[in-house]
Amino acid sequence: MLVYGLLRCYHGSRISCCDVVKLANILRTGKTEKVHLQPDPFLNELTSMFEKSTETGSVWVTLKRSSLKSKVQRNKMKTAGSPIEYRCLVRATDGKKTIATSVGMKDHQRFQASYATILKAHMTALKKRERKDKKKAVETDKKEGDSKKKPKV
């Protein structure tokens, strides 16, 4: 019904076909478009996502290498001989909202450190080793450690 209404708008006024599809998807799934942020606001939003999903829900974080340019542009740059600058694309979602940022070579260490801090602070629900396992692990670690240390020295 809603999609039909949107299509009527499309025929009536100049809404593009892509917009109709996007709006229809939003209405159907309740999902909004991906938001591209700078690294620092991204980290703030990521923190709030973790905080919101403590009772229920998941947080997904995806890392991918990207030059943020289309294939056509990349091929052009290749033929021109100019080096393509790659960035690390980071996306995070809680199932409803998606945020994204891209991190370049210069900022990646700083971003990585802040990101690690956020993860450490929030991944508190994971089980810690039980004492029985700890004793066994300590014994096996000692044995392994002794055997490993010798070849290094």
Partner 1 sequence: MVYITSWDEFVERSVQLFRADPESTRYCVKYRHCEGKLVLKVTDNRECLKFKTDQAQDAKKMEKLNNIFFTLMARGPDADISDVAGKEQAEAQPTKKGRGRKQ
Binding site for partner 1 (CB under 8 A): 50, 53-65, 86-88, 103-105, 108-109, 111-112, 115-116, 119-120, 122-129
Q: Between 36 and 69, whose beta carbon lies closer to partner 1? A: 69
CB of 125 to partner 1, least distance (A): 4
Q: Between 8 and 75, whose beta carbon lies closer to partner 1? A: 75
CB atoms within 10 A of CB 136: 12
Q: Between 10 and 86, whose beta carbon lies closer to partner 1? A: 86
| The pair of three-digit structure tokens given for residue 117, joined into one six-digit string | 């801090």
CB atoms within 10 A of CB 132: 8
CB atoms within 10 A of CB 111: 19
Contact 27, 9 (CB under 8 A): no
